[in-house]
Amino acid sequence: MEKHGVEPNIITFIAVLHACSHAGLVTEGKRLFEKMALGFGLVSKIEHYGCMVDLLGRAGKLEEAYELIKSMPIHPNSVVWGAFHATCKLYKNPNLRELTAKHLLELEPQNRGYNVLLSNIYAASNRWDGVASVGMAMQDNGIKKQPGLSSIEVNDTPQTGKIYEMLAEMSMRLKQAGYCPDTSVVLQNIDEEEQETALNYHSEKLAMAFSLISTVVSTPMRIIKNLRVCDDFHAATKILSKIYGRIIVVRDRNRFHHFREGICSCSDYW
């Protein structure tokens, strides 16, 4: 744009900073962020700060991202804190995850997703008093947890028995591939075996089993999930896409995940 005499605006910088974030171009992203003000006299908006937090977070620079949030001249919104939370989750920083979840809940106390998010964090560290506290707050505020539902369209013929047979096969082949269930995503204070069983019957796995018995081998699988997919399903689906040689597309509440040959398009950041 500069070469052709076209002056970039604030939208241009959102695009290039977003691109730098996904490409891991930290140095270039920082240079462009500074150039906005120094080179073009543009004032950074909340969207630009969100891109920078995402950029630094994806690169594992959690402390730098947090310092940027604290130094922002405008109040960080849920998009900024949400980007930072995804970073803390990816790099397994429970303290910062809890901090970001609390900020998100403070901004949107009626958001059931953020309530469940904080509850999940407490459950992962076996802080059941925290889980109970969040549950009571949701009840007092009339917030109900939305049940997880997954859908896939093939035909109208019920095949319950075959679905559960395929589910058992999927579980067996996952274990043979070295997969270990991530039981931290199960909220109930139950033993490990029950947690693994609960994970095995998640709606998205049932939808996948139905697709495997109902479509030919080369058919891409497309699953719609009304909530955000959990860590366990994401890890399992990467392995299953390789085991069964399928392209698996999952549309959850936030984005599309495109699984192929053991890799997801989100690069494990969502």
Sorted by where each starts, the structural domains of the chain and their CATH numbers stand as 2-107 (1.25.40.10), 150-264 (no CATH)
Is the per-residue pLDDT at 192 higher than 60? no
Q: What average pLDDT is seen over the chain? A: 88
Is the per-residue pLDDT at 9 higher than 50? yes
Closest of 76, 102, 101 to residue 87, by C-alpha: 101
Residue with tokens 């920078």: 52
Report the pLDDT value the prediction gives residue 116, as an integer from 0 to 100: 85
Q: How far apart are CA 220 and CA 212, in angstroms?
A: 10
| Helix, strand or coil, per DSSP, at residue 259 | strand
Q: Three-state SS string across 35-46, please? A: HHHHHHCCCCCH
Report the pLDDT value the prediction gives residue 120, as an integer from 0 to 100: 85
Q: What is the pLDDT of residues 97-144, one digit of tens each?
A: 999 999 999 999 988 888 888 988 898 888 989 989 998 999 888 888
Report the pLDDT value the prediction gives residue 195, as an integer from 0 to 100: 56
Report the pLDDT value the prediction gives residue 198, as an integer from 0 to 100: 60
Closest of 37, 114, 105, 61 to residue 69, by C-alpha: 61
Report the pLDDT value the prediction gives residue 2, as an integer from 0 to 100: 87
Q: What is the pLDDT of residues 155-181, one digit of tens each?
A: 766 688 888 999 999 999 999 999 988
Report the pLDDT value the prediction gives residue 194, as an integer from 0 to 100: 47
